[in-house]
Amino acid sequence: MGNSLRCISHNDDDGDGDGELGNRPSKYTLTALPLFTSFDGRTGLLSSFSSSSSRKEKKTKNRRKDHHQRQLIELDADPFISEQALAAALLFHNQHRINGTNSDDNIPITRSASVVYPSPALPKKQRFIRSSSARQRSNTDLFLQPRQLVSQELKMESLETSRFVLVHGGGFGAWCWYKTMTLLEENGFKVDVVDLTGSGVSSFDTNNITSLAQYVKPLTDIFNKLGNEEKVILVGHDFGGACISFVMELFPSKIAKAVFVAAAMLTSGQSSNDLMQQGQIFLYANGKNNPPTSIDLDRTLLRDLMFNQSSSKDVALASVSMRTTPFAPVLEKLSLTDNNYGSIPRFYVKTLEDFAIPVSVQEAMINSNPPQQVFQLKGSDHAPFFSKPQALHMILVEISNIPQKQV
């Protein structure tokens, strides 16, 4: 064989031959095709060639219907040899065309499985779009485009109110609502977020806060500025649930709905003192002989306790932004009435992977003080505005869309 593969091609000559190649005309010619650098040790690569032209003529008469003979090539297991042999078959087919052989068939060429060939004839709309993630989408993964709900489902003018007021929990600040605020505003809602006294960017020392009224003053200031006919949807998280309950008693005519998100939804005479006690560190600004003045959280437990489903970036944000919670407002018992607090429709959002306020505690509050409707966020930790912002957003929009006559 040497360094070339000799392929046998059929000529149109009808001259007789005895199968030997020489000066006599033959029905077969040998075409040398450069192919491999060496065939040493590759015996048996071409096993179907015959040196006798008479035998080939007999086979041609009995078994062939076309004008050229198909060669059976036994390929070595080496994939490199396989691809080279396929290239030889292609060259063999092209040589037929160059020699003017009339062929009614197209020799099929099997392409290597290791090479990807585009399909130009396939319309673009039928081509496969590759996913950017191998993870199968969960039913709780909700994706919204800006103003998608407004354009397809919501009619803002038909809502009782399109304004939200978001109240953070103990240790948090207005910063924790950045995802929820963005999503709501992109869908046409007006959103107010507030830093309660001593929280977020407030410069007030939490150790000097002595009452719940003092703590929630930035929130009551918002309601004092509302017009008589203006209403909002009030949302509270964590200890913010007790804060919005306090405001619900003061401004019932200005609150269309109240939403408790993994929050303290208490009855009259209860306090938030027993709501969450894990990982708490009591601070005594007035000395050990006096009651604690504020509560801090063990920062080493933040991820496992509160942000077990949240991203590392949000955990980092919380770890550098959270502040202490004043202790006096936590101890204060609420005074709630049916005429004020009880007149406002309430909704509760359960967080099912919450280790700070476990589901059992959330359900106990729901059972003792039943809201109009309960929603649940599967896969959410204590901070759904971090771990499940889209799903939380959908719930808030759904609540806003509940007609007043159903409330």
Task: Say whether both 188 and 68 belong to one domain.
Answer: no
For residue 363, is it within any domain?
A: yes
Q: How far apart are the first and last CA of the chain?
A: 91
Task: Say whether both 89 and 155 belong to one domain.
Answer: no
Higher pLDDT, 334 or 1: 334
Question: Would residue 105 show up in a list of annotated catalytic residues for this protein?
Answer: no
Question: Would residue 354 show up in a list of annotated catalytic residues for this protein?
Answer: yes
* Bridging pattern class, strands 163-167 and 190-194: parallel
What is the C-alpha separation between 272 and 157, in angstroms, rounded? 38
pLDDT of residue 391: 97
Q: For residue 168, give the nearest of 244, 245, 249, 222 by alpha carbon.
A: 244
pLDDT digits (tens, 9 = 90+) for 210-268: 999 999 999 999 999 999 889 999 999 999 999 999 999 999 999 999 999 999 999 99
pLDDT digits (tens, 9 = 90+) for 78-100: 555 556 666 666 655 555 555 55
Task: Say whether both 226 and 317 belong to one domain.
Answer: yes
For residue 107, is it within any domain?
A: no
Q: Is 100 exposed, middle or buried (0-12, 13-18, 19+ CB in 10 A)?
A: exposed
Task: Say whether both 246 and 377 belong to one domain.
Answer: yes
Q: Where are the beta strands (DSSP E) in 151-287?
A: 163-167, 190-194, 232-238, 255-263, 280-283
Please say if the pLDDT value at position 126 is more than 60.
no
Higher pLDDT, 146 or 165: 165
pLDDT of residue 286: 93
Please say if the pLDDT value at position 3 is more than 50.
no
For residue 129, is it within any domain?
A: no
Task: Say whether both 79 and 193 belong to one domain.
Answer: no
Higher pLDDT, 154 or 202: 202
Higher pLDDT, 299 or 62: 299
For residue 125, is it within any domain?
A: no
Q: For residue 407, give the nearest of 226, 231, 307, 257 by alpha carbon.
A: 257
pLDDT of residue 403: 85
Contacts of 275 (CB under 8 A, 6+ apart): 239, 264, 357, 361
pLDDT of residue 22: 44
Helix, strand, or coil (residue 373): strand
pLDDT of residue 283: 95
pLDDT of residue 83: 60
pLDDT digits (tens, 9 = 90+) for 67-78: 444 444 444 445
Task: Say whether both 81 and 177 belong to one domain.
Answer: no
The CB density around residue 364, as the number of other CB atoms within 10 Å, is 11
Mean pLDDT computed over 374-383: 97
Buried b / exposed e along 299-315 (16+ C-beta atoms within 10 A): eeebbebbbbbbeeebb
Task: Say whether both 256 and 338 belong to one domain.
Answer: yes
pLDDT of residue 340: 98
For residue 15, is it within any domain?
A: yes
pLDDT of residue 158: 80
pLDDT digits (tens, 9 = 90+) for 276-312: 667 889 999 999 999 999 999 998 999 999 999 999 9
By the 8 A CB rule, do 269 and 375 touch? no
pTM of the shown model? 0.64
Domain stops at, among 98, 120, 136? 98
State both tokens at 219: 């929130």
Please give, one letter per residue, the 3-state secondary structure of 39-71.
CCCCCCCCCCCCCCHHHHHHHHHHHCCCCCCCC
pLDDT of residue 62: 55
Please say if the pLDDT value at position 20 is more than 70.
no
Across all residues in the chain, what is the average pLDDT?
A: 76
Task: Say whether both 314 and 180 belong to one domain.
Answer: yes
Q: Which of 195, 314, 354, 381 is catalytic?
A: 354
For residue 287, give the CATH number of its domain: 3.40.50.1820
Mean pLDDT computed over 41-62: 47
Which phi-psi region, left, alpha or beta, contains residue 197 (left: φ > 0; alpha: ψ -120 to 50)? beta
> CA Rg, the chain, in Å?
40
Higher pLDDT, 144 or 180: 180
Residue with tokens 């009591």: 282
Which helix H or strand E contains 151, and what residues bound it? Answer: helix 148-152
By the 8 A CB rule, do 31 and 95 touch? yes
Helix, strand, or coil (residue 236): strand
State both tokens at 330: 């936590």
pLDDT of residue 232: 98
DSSP state letters, 253-307: GGEEEEEEEEE--PPTT--STTT--TTEEEE-TT-TTS---EEEE-GGGHHHHT-
Q: Which of 10, 96, 382, 393 is catalytic?
A: 382
What is the C-alpha separation between 14 and 22, in angstroms, rounded? 16
**Domains contained in the chain, number:** 2
For residue 118, is it within any domain?
A: no
pLDDT of residue 174: 98
Task: Say whether both 78 and 204 belong to one domain.
Answer: no
Average the pLDDT over each of 128-132, 325-329, 370-374, 375-379 and give the range with the smallest value: 128-132
Structural domain boundaries enclosing 52: 4-98
Task: Say whether both 285 and 394 belong to one domain.
Answer: yes
For residue 196, is it within any domain?
A: yes
Q: In what order do the strands lie in the sheet with 163-167?
A: 190-194, 163-167, 232-238, 255-263, 346-351, 373-377
Task: Name the percent of the chain lying above pLDDT 70.
Answer: 61
Q: Which of 93, 168, 237, 238 is catalytic?
A: 238
Dihedral angle computed from the Cα positions of residues 14, 20, 23 and 25, in that order, rounded to the nearest 10 degrees: 0
The CA-atom distances, in angstroms, between 366 and each of 98, 237, 350, 375 are 86, 15, 10, 11
Domain stops at, among 72, 98, 124? 98
Domain stops at, among 98, 133, 160? 98
Task: Say whether both 173 and 310 belong to one domain.
Answer: yes
Contacts of 252 (CB under 8 A, 6+ apart): 339, 340, 341, 343, 344
Task: Say whether both 185 and 257 belong to one domain.
Answer: yes
For residue 192, is it within any domain?
A: yes
pLDDT digits (tens, 9 = 90+) for 175-184: 999 999 999 9
Task: Name the percent of the chain lying above pLDDT 90.
Answer: 56
Length, in residues, of the chain:
407
